[in-house]
Structure 1
Amino acid sequence: MIKSRKIKLLKWLAGISVILLMLGISAVTVFAAGDVSSAIESTWTSAQTQIKNVVNNVVFPAVDMILAILFFVKLATAYMDYRKHGQFEFTAPAILFGCLVFSLTAPLYIWTIL
């Protein structure tokens, strides 16, 4: 009985030591060379106009189109439900309309925030 406890203790200690050894081998210290924030800022300033053009001319119109389609589809289904049940559910169309207004006006002020 004492011998089996010693074997269990040795197996347990061996397992813990293997885990600690693997942790020590895989934990590599990484140091940043130089000032990282200035490198990020210089990259942003050089690519800022391209990013703005892509976002203003591609991303926002795509989001606007998707939201407009969803708004009109939801408005039509809400109207059909109104004709069927006599109760107009305006929550989902109102939320979609608010999101559409937000995304349509976002290019005017989003770049001053960022």
Structure 2
Amino acid sequence: MKKYKQLSIILTVVLIVCLFYGISAFAAGTGDVAGAIEGTWTTASGQIKTVVNKVIFPAIDLILAVFFFAKLGMTYFDFRKHGQFEWSGPAILFACLVFTLTAPLYIWTILGL
């Protein structure tokens, strides 16, 4: 009997906690949820754009630059060993590096921001 009483108390406490945290959320005044989402997006899009331009793109550029120079060094050592210079790896990394370096100039117009 003690187990059932303890279990019922635990279930009651869990139910009360769920009721406290299960508050309905309504859009302000008219109930226009789409307008609330669009307003949030317009205020947040500037912050997202700033973070991507100042953090994400430079991080990707740094990683690609390190990979490019490492691949260029490995390609040089392969050239000294085999006598052939393989351009495809460094060329692809260089093209990606140029793409990400210039991406902040045009990516926001493509996305419409």
Q: State the TM-score, normalized to the length of structure 2.
A: 0.67
1:32-63 residue CA offsets vs partner (Å, 9 max, x unmatched): x9666544432221101110110000000000
Q: Structure 2: which 5+ residue stretches go unaligned?
A: 1-26
Aligned with residue 54 of structure 2, among 57, 68, 81? 57
C-alpha separation in 2, matches of 1:107 and 1:50: 14
State the 1:103 CA deviation.
0.1
Whether 2:84 is the aligned partner of 1:87: answer yes
C-alpha separation in 2, matches of 1:37 and 1:78: 54
Q: Structure 1: which 5+ residue stretches go unaligned?
A: 1-32
Aligned with residue 103 of structure 1, among 97, 100, 112? 100
C-alpha separation in 1, matches of 2:84 and 2:70: 17
**Matched residue type, 2:38:** E
Match of 2:41? 44
Q: State the TM-score, normalized to the length of structure 1.
A: 0.66
C-alpha separation in 2, matches of 1:37 and 1:88: 57
**Matched residue type, 1:46:** T
C-alpha separation in 2, matches of 1:109 and 1:39: 28
**Identity of paired residues, percent?**
71
C-alpha separation in 2, matches of 1:97 and 1:107: 17
SS in 2 for 1:111: helix
Task: Please report the RMSD computed on the Cα atoms of aligned residues, expressed in angstroms.
Answer: 1.6
The structure with the larger Rg is 1
